[in-house]
Amino acid sequence: MEGVTVLVGQGLYMAVAALAGLVLARVLRTDNTLGCLIAGVGAGILLPVIDFDTGIRADNMQQLVFFVILPVLIFEAAWRIKPALLKRWLGPIVLLATLGMVITALLTGVLLYYGIDHPGFPWIAAFLTGAILAATDPVAVINKLRQTDADEELLTLVEGESLFNDAAAIVLFSLVLGVASHSVMEGAASTGEPLAGAGAIALYFVVIFFGGLALGLLCGLVTAIVVLFLRSAGAALVALVLSAFGTFYLAEHVLHVSGILAVMTCAIVARACLREQEKTYLADAGSTWEWLALLFTALVFVIMGLVITPAMFTQQWLAMVMAIAGAVGARALAIFLVAPLSGYVGPPIPKPWRVVLSWGGLRGVIALALVLALPTELPYWYTVQSMVFGVVLFSLLVQGTTSRFLINKISAAEAAEKARARE
């Protein structure tokens, strides 16, 4: 009983810190994520003063992130996208989220490996960092796009690309992390021995990728049937929340396929099947997922504030600078290489939109969730964590704050071009 009481107290402490971060963001008129980060730092400073233990440990972080936080964030992002517009832009979205994501991860890994050039930072560490930094989180840009009444199709493209990008990046991260963990256990990292054939890795990727899509399709259909059978707004919300966690658990623990892809597909299929109930049983679904995602996003940034240390900036500052340059440069190059191909699989992506996709590819909650899940058995985990923290801070303080100016310039240029076309 005492253990349960301690657990409740720890959860309340984290939740109060998250709420304090939201209040701070309101007072400072800044993004919620930055406010929660500051609140997390403050909560960490307060811990020794009040002699309190949050219960957060490196060995339990992976379970917390993958089985509690990510299912909610992915389901909410997928539920928010309008099925009709998603269908129109699905080709370019999938192209950017697969080929574009892989190019970003590979380029970032190569740049970091040669930039750091240290025996303690092998190829597998560089590619692991590249996979983490390939996951984008353009929440700040989406909010600014909505405030400027931007094209709904641009919103769909940015949101859809981020969602599918995150799902694919998490699959790639899991694959690379498995190789990295095997390298440490077998000592292959130092001997350079091959860990697995390219064919076996490709087959593994295909199975977990398409297996996750198939399971998500099935779970989405079952969720829709259950909601229609229950015919109750409250029961419908319960079914949706359970489907997010249940789909992930079934995928990861029972079938060993991608839980993230399964959850994403489940949300998209369920909303498409239940689109006629959005004003009845699902009238409150959007707001429910919005506050759940807000809570878990706030918690992730609070955790970042708790674990970040001044030593990261004094010891790892050069690696952080390299990671920022590599992540931003690789993202921009990947977008401008892949975007011209979008016309072959769907509507062509206008050039101004490519700039938004490039600069608006912020690293945020997903990248943080992945790097916080790194096992400390990896000898380079602290370096990777420091670099990802540096990139996320750059996204918050630089990319997030300058995106409004960029969007306004692009919107003005598009309006002028439409005016000339009417003349």
Residues of the chain with CATH 1.20.1530.20: 56-422
**How many angstroms separate the Cα of 181 from the Cα of each of 49, 186, 240, 352, 375?**
37, 9, 34, 41, 8
Q: What pLDDT is stored for residue 43 in this prediction?
A: 87
- CATH class of domain segment(s) 56-422: mainly alpha
> Which of the four pLDDT bands, split at 50, 70 and 90, describes residue 66?
confident
pLDDT at residue 250 greater than cutoff 70? yes
* Higher-confidence position of 1 and 210: 210
Q: How far apart are CA 197 and CA 331, in angstroms?
A: 28
Model confidence at 334: pLDDT above 90 = yes
pTM for this entry: 0.82
CA atoms in the 13 A half-sphere facing the CB of 171: 31
Closest CA to 292 of 239, 365, 241, 232: 241
The pLDDT assigned to 189 comes to 41
Cα–Cα nearest to 246, from 223, 272, 275, 269:
223
From 120-124, 182-186, 375-379, 409-413, the region with the lowest mean pLDDT: 182-186
The residue with greater pLDDT, 335 or 162, is 335
pLDDT (0 to 100) of residue 135: 87
| 25: Cβ contacts below 8 Å, ≥ 6 apart | 31, 32, 33, 34, 35, 36
How far is Cα 218 from Cα 210, in angstroms, rounded to an integer? 12
